[in-house]
Chain A
Amino acid sequence: MILLEIKKLNKSFGGLSAVLDFDFYLKPKELVGLIGPNGAGKTTVFNLITGVYKPDSGSIIFNGREIAGLAPYNICARGIARTFQNIRLFNDLTVLDNVKIAAHKNVPYGFLSTIFRTPGFFSGEKQIEQDALRFLEIFKLENKKHELAKNLPYGEQRRLEIARAMATQPTLLILDEPAAGMNPQETRELMMLIEQIREEFNLTILLIEHDMSLVMGVCERIYVLDYGQIIAEGLPEEIRNNKEVIEAYLGEEVV
């Protein structure tokens, strides 16, 4: 059973090929890493999967249905959530509100209920609040619930981004450099958190990372991207010793 399958994906920007003939697959509950030197096109792949960019050609099949070229909000509805390389929180909203927005795609009341403040509205809001608080508790952020997102320390902002993505109840979670800017201790905590939510929510996880300790530590399978093309794919030990991968990162043959 394949959860996500990408076939011959292509995307160029103004003549420059960012992603070339990209083939890829994910099985349910896998934890897969996508690594490669800077500018290899990793974030572009994420943007293509989540609908931020439209591919020039190729197909992306999720849960048996084609999603290439769909609008991002549709892709979220299908069960894919992501975090960003440069944190994109709703800065002037509270931590709690950031997470509450995830509930909107299934909002339990309509416009008229909102305007006329029916009992349905109040019970709906209560449900949304309870659900949001539940996620905050899992990610240990409930004591900061009324804090503005922009005022959180960096590590907590990253956690909030993951919490917010998780609140959309995805089947596939895509993490773009979740450990960026973290020290080894924080990275270890993040690794444990990733494992924990994978178990608890039956998640499939795809991540981009530069921190090799994280990648080698949690990923079951790794794809290596360079200049928009896959140069290697396999288990962590295989990748670690792969000559082409080493060359790509260091730029010259290391014997």
Chain B
Amino acid sequence: MPFTVNKGEVAIMLEFVQQLVNGLSLGAIYALIALGYTMVYGIIMLINFAHGDIMMVGAFVGFYSITLLGTNIVMAMIFAMIACAVLGVVIEKVAYRPLRGSTRIAALITAIGMSLFLEYMTIFLLGPQQKVFPHSAFPLKEYNAMGLLITNKDIFIIVSAVVLMIILQYIIKMTKTGKAMRAVSVDREAAVLMGISVDKTISITFAIGSALAAAAGVMVGVYYNTINPLMGIIPGLKAFVAAVLGGIGIVPGAMVGGFVMGILETFVSGYGSSLYRDAVAFGVLILILLIKPTGLFGKDTGEKV
């Protein structure tokens, strides 16, 4: 008998691909946030605990841009990206730069403090309640392609994410700034000797990373419709795991890691239990750290004694 597929099997396959597609949007969001983590870690060896909260600020800026200024979604995203780029640069200058010579533990504790600061300052100023993204900003349109359900939100998120990632790759590979960023992350002292302004390069890195997180924040607002001051914590942690999965400090790794985490999470909550959905990220993190801390694309370099 020639190879045939029956209706039940088609349904299962379709379901599988549908989950894959759902996971892509989520993955795109995680990838954008993960890029910020990985770029900052690559350049100053700091886990920027506050990064998820910068994403949250971006979501809020986008929200107020739409509700107070009446802009469309793209302008809202641009405003959010600019605002968070500035925020990222300010945070680096005020809280992280003074600790550049200190232990990494000191910097990590400061980053934790900055994260709490952003969260609770937002609660203090805007109240803890969640805010709803107006439907008018992005009216939902669903498309049916070969039995798969795709919304215009999915398309918007994935397309924007891909565009931003292409722009990022261009900046890193083709511009002088990108070269400087790579130089500083490989050997800071040598970069100084080559005439690169380390301070400026680090500021730019924070600006770019924060802008990407802001875009992700607006996308979260579009995707889930609601935002709240503590929304950055869990996605921030998951994106961090994505960055570690791909290899912390490695840009393509963050992109791949983000999509993997998004798809993994969608599958777990689609097929498994949604109660354990969040624990999956923690579990993945523990596994990576114990088995291959340098991540999928990372290299093993020993410590010089």
| Interface set of A (CB-CB < 8 Å, partner B) | 13-14, 43, 47, 52-53, 84
- Nearest residue (CB) in A for B302 is A13
The answer to whether B305 and A52 have CB atoms under 8 Å apart is yes
Task: Scan residues 286-305 of chain B and give those whose CB is less than 8 A from a CB of chain A.
Answer: 299-302, 305
A43 to B299, CA, bound (A): 23
Shortest CB–CB separation between residue A232 and chain B, in angstroms? 26
Chain A: which residue is nearest B303 at the CB level? Answer: A52
B302 touches A43 (CB 8 A): no
Query: Which B residues are CB-close (under 8 A) to A52?
Result: 305
CA distance A123 to B81 in the complex (A): 67
Within 8 Å CB of A47, what residues of B?
305
Q: Is the CB of A14 within 8 A of B305?
A: no
Cα–Cα, bound, A206→B302 (Å): 25
List 3 tightest A-B contacts by C-beta distance, closest first. A52-B305, A47-B305, A13-B302
CA distance A47 to B299 in the complex (A): 22
Q: With A and B bound together, what is the CA distance between A53 and B299 in angstroms?
A: 18
A53 CA to B303 CA, complexed, in Å: 10
* Chain A residues, Cβ within 8 Å of B305: 43, 47, 52-53, 84
Give the complex CA separation of A52 and B303 in angstroms: 10
Shortest B102–chain A CB gap in Å is 14
Chain B residues touching A, range: under 10
Chain A positions within 8 Å of B302 at CB level: 13, 53
Q: A13-B301, A14-B299 are in contact. List 9 more A-B contacts (CB 8 A).
A: A13-B302, A14-B300, A14-B301, A43-B305, A47-B305, A52-B305, A53-B302, A53-B305, A84-B305
B300 / chain A contacts, CB cutoff of 8 Å: 14
Contacts of A13 in B (CB 8 A): 301-302
A–B complex contacts, Cβ < 8 Å, 11 sampled: A13-B301, A13-B302, A14-B299, A14-B300, A14-B301, A43-B305, A47-B305, A52-B305, A53-B302, A53-B305, A84-B305
Chain A binding surface, main DSSP class:
loop
Considering only CB atoms, which chain B residue lies closest to A43 in the complex?
Answer: B305
Assembly CA distance A53 to B301 (angstroms):
12
> Of residues B299, B300, B301, B305, which shows the largest number of chain A Cβ atoms within 10 Å of its Cβ?
B305
Query: How far is B305's CA from A13's CA once the two chains are assembled, in angstroms?
Result: 13
How many whole Å from A83's CB to the nearest CB in chain B?
Answer: 13
Residues of chain B with a CB closer than 8 A to A14's CB: 299-301
- Report how far A35 CA is from B237 CA in the complex, Å: 50
Give the distance in Å from the alpha carbon of A30 to the alpha carbon of B103 in the complex: 41
Which residues of B sit under 8 angstroms from A84, Cβ to Cβ? 305
B145-167 with Cβ < 8 A to chain A:
none
Closest to A85 in B: B305
Q: What is the distance, in angstroms, from B120's C-beta to the closest C-beta of chain A?
A: 34
* Chain B 129-155: CB-based contact to A (< 8 A → 1; otherwise 0): 000000000000000000000000000
Given the complex of chains A and B, what is the CA–CA distance between A2 and B299 in angstroms?
40
C-alpha gap A43/B303 in the complex (Å): 13
The docked-state distance in angstroms from the alpha carbon of A47 to that of B303 is 12
Assembled-state Cα–Cα distance A47/B302 (Å): 12
Q: A43 to B305, alpha carbons, bound, how many Å?
A: 8
Closest to A44 in B: B305
Look across to chain B and name the residue whose beta carbon is closest to the beta carbon of A88.
B305
Which residues from 172 to 212 on chain B have a C-beta closer than 8 Å to any C-beta of chain A?
Answer: none
Closest to B301 in A: A14
- Chain B residues with CB under 8 Å of A53's CB are 302, 305
Q: Give chain A residues whose Cβ lies under 8 Å from the Cβ of B301.
A: 13-14
C-alpha spacing A38/B305, complex, angstroms? 15
Specify the chain A residue showing the minimal Cβ separation from B299: A14
A53 to B302, CA, bound (A): 9
Give the shortest distance, in Å, between A162 (CB) and chain B (any CB): 18
B299 cross-chain contacts in A, Cβ below 8 A: 14
Q: How far is the CA of A84 from the CA of B299 in the complex (A)?
A: 27
C-alpha spacing A171/B290, complex, angstroms: 37
In the assembled complex, how far is the CB of residue B224 from the closest CB belonging to chain A, in whole angstroms? 44
Min Cβ gap B151→A in Å is 47
User: Which chain B residue shows the least CB distance to A14?
Assistant: B301
Q: How far is the CA of A212 from the CA of B240 in the complex (A)?
A: 52
Instruction: Please give the distance in Å from B98's CB to the nearest CB on chain A.
Output: 21
| Cα A47 to Cα B305 with chains together (Å) | 8
Min CB distance B257 to A, Å, is 23
A233 to chain B, nearest CB (A): 25
Of residues 254 through 305 on chain B, the ones whose CB sits less than 8 Å from some CB of chain A are: 299-302, 305
A52 to B300, CA, bound (A): 16
A84–B301 Cα distance when bound, in Å, is 21
Q: For the complex, give the distance between the alpha carbons of A84 and B305 in Å.
A: 9
Report Cα–Cα, A138/B44, bound state, in Å: 45
Q: How far is the CB of A73 from chain B (nearest CB, A)?
A: 15
Question: What's the Cα separation between A142 and B291 when bound, in Å?
Answer: 48
How far does the alpha carbon of A179 sit from the alpha carbon of B299 in the complex, in Å? 36
Residue of B nearest to A52 (CB): B305
Residues from chain B with a CB closer than 8 A to the CB of A43 are 305
Distance in angstroms between the alpha carbons of A43 and B301 in the assembled complex: 17
Name the distance in Å between B66's Cβ and chain A's nearest Cβ: 50
Complex Cα distance A52/B302, Å? 11
In whole angstroms, what is the CA distance A90 to B302 when docked?
23
Q: How far is the CB of B106 from chain A (nearest CB, A)?
A: 15
